[in-house]
Structures are given as C-alpha cells and as structure tokens.
Amino acid sequence: MPVGGVSNRSFKNIIQKTKEDINALSNNKIPLVKAILRENLSKIPQFIFKSN
C-alpha cells in the first residue's frame, strides 16, 4: 500500500481535510491546536519520502 491517501496527495487536499478536522474537533470539544499540529506534522515525511 502506498504511503498516504487521497487527502494527502496535495496541499489543497490537506487544507480541505484540515478544515473538516477542525469542524469535527470543535463539535466534539477536543483541543484544536495540538491535534491539528500533530496530525499534519506527521504527514511531512510522506512528501519527502514519496514513493513513485
């Protein structure tokens, strides 16, 4: 299975996914900054070590 899914293929998709995540986190009263940073920073290696 390739690294990353459809939401990780471009920065535009990541921004859209992040907006959806913010809405979901807000609706469930989960701290936004820590969750969003952790999730998006974990995706950086997928861009650096992209397979084909």
Of 35, 44, 34, 49, whose CA–CA distance to 14 is shortest? 44
Range of the domain at 35: 14-48
Instruction: Please state, in angstroms and as integers, the Cα–Cα distance from residue 28 to each residue in 19, 33, 38, following that order.
Output: 14, 14, 18
The domain total for the chain is 1
Q: Which tokens go with 7?
A: 């939401």
Q: Is 30 within the bounds of a domain?
A: yes
pLDDT tens digits, one per residue of 1-43 = 355 566 667 778 878 888 888 898 889 988 888 887 887 787 7
pTM for this predicted structure:
0.56
Instruction: Give the separation between CA 1 and CA 24, rounded to whole angstroms.
Output: 27
| Residue 31 belongs to a domain | yes
Side-chain half-sphere CA neighbours of 35 within 13 A: 14
5 falls within a domain: no
